[in-house]
Amino acid sequence: MEWILLPAAVLEPTAWILIPAALGVGFLVLTLLFRVLRAAIGTAITLVLVLFALQFLFGITPDDLWAELVTLGRTLARSI
């Protein structure tokens, strides 16, 4: 499939408005995506550090923590 490049004079006036608007919306979406990604990575790093601290300081393994969370979930489900 061949691409046909049109001269700038052929574009309609609304296209001149839509192009910067689309670029602006794209920029805002990418900015939001990077902020969410940065927050998620920060949360993941914090969680890993807490798990390492629990394991090395108190001897609590991730399996012990998971078992306690499952027990907590079951207890909450029974109480509702």
pLDDT, tens digit (0-9, with 9 covering 90-100), for 24-60: 999 999 999 999 999 999 999 999 999 999 999 999 9
Q: pTM of the prediction? A: 0.59
Q: Where do we find the tokens 């550090």?
A: 49
Using CA atoms, how far apart are residues 6 and 31, in angstroms rounded to an integer?
31
**Where do the domains of the chain lie?**
26-79
3-state secondary structure the chain: CCCCCCCHHHCCHHHHHHHHHHHHHHHHHHHHHHHHHHHHHHHHHHHHHHHHHHHHHHCCCHHHHHHHHHHHHHHHHHHC
pLDDT given for residue 30 in this prediction: 97
**Which is more confidently placed, 11 or 19?**
19
Q: Give the pLDDT confidence score for residue 49 in this predicted structure.
A: 95
Backbone angles phi, psi at 59, to 5 degrees: 75, 20
Q: What is the mean pLDDT of the chain?
A: 88
